Amino acid sequence: MGVLDDLRLDGKVALVTGAARGLGQGMALGLAEAGADVVGLDIVPMEETEGKVAATGRRFHAMNRDLLETKAEGAAEIVAHCVSEMGRLDILVNNAGIIRRDQALEFGEDDWESVIQVNLSAAFYLSQAAARRFVEQGDGGKIINTASVLSYEGGITVPSYAASKAGIANLTRALSNEWAPLGINVNALAPSYYTTELTGAIRENEERSTALLARIPAGRYGEPEDLKGAVVLLSSLAGDFIHGSVLPVDGGWLGR
């Protein structure tokens, strides 16, 4: 087999959270194009994602769940439902995320707790449930978390988001230390500023947008499609010796 064969995901099943739009939709489509069947999880309808995945000839199953309510028991139910519908689970992409903006002196309790729950706690519980399934199946698995350039930087007026993304980066390393011997790869992608709903307010602010674009060596915002190659690599045989990495897909932001 050659390297292109190693990148194929035929026969694999991937669970992608936050799959209705943005980065999650882009990654779900990339996985499907590489041959994986996809379970999408979101709190909103996923007809658009389903149509795009179906156009590749792969199966898509939608799960409407609220990760604000997802603890260990809920995560186990989500994984069990994936296996019941699709027969197995091979890849987990913890992509779902929310952001709240306010001055730290005024930052509210709900704005802290909700972001930590969705971005970090739910990702841990889903990773734990998926890893237990991978061990049961006996042939390993792949977990890809969505970190951020704010895993490395503090940002401005987004304390809970910055804390959650720094947490995701170190959670990725911690889980990989334990699970690499089990044949489970745990890695993360660190996007910069992409054309998604989360960055809408920033991109609509002409002054802030101009400053951001000047800071990105590639000279543009990222598009969800820019994550396809990286997520396929980390989900495939070609990425089997990659453990605990946080891979920037950032247009050069962190190198500036």
Percent of the chain with pLDDT strictly greater than 70:
100
Report pLDDT digits (tens) over 55-80: 999 999 999 999 999 999 999 999 99
Mean pLDDT of 222-232: 97
Tell me the domain boundaries of the chain.
3-239
Q: Does domain 3-239 have CATH number 3.40.50.720?
A: yes
Please check whether residue 102 is in contact with residue 96, taking contact to mean a CB–CB distance below 8 angstroms: no
**Does pLDDT of 121 surpass 90?**
yes
pTM of the model: 0.96
Please check whether residue 216 is in contact with residue 192, taking contact to mean a CB–CB distance below 8 angstroms: yes
**Does pLDDT of 178 surpass 80?**
yes
Q: Note the pLDDT of residue 207.
A: 83
Q: How far is CA 160 from the centre of its chain?
A: 18
Q: Note the pLDDT of residue 203.
A: 79
**Does pLDDT of 256 surpass 80?**
yes
Non-local CB neighbours of 10 within 8 Å, separated by 6+ positions: 35, 36
Q: Note the pLDDT of residue 253.
A: 95
Q: Note the pLDDT of residue 190.
A: 98
**Does pLDDT of 130 surpass 90?**
yes
Q: Distance between CA 164 and CA 159 in Å, rounded?
A: 9
pLDDT class of 206 with cuts at 50, 70, 90: confident
Residues carrying an active site annotation: 161
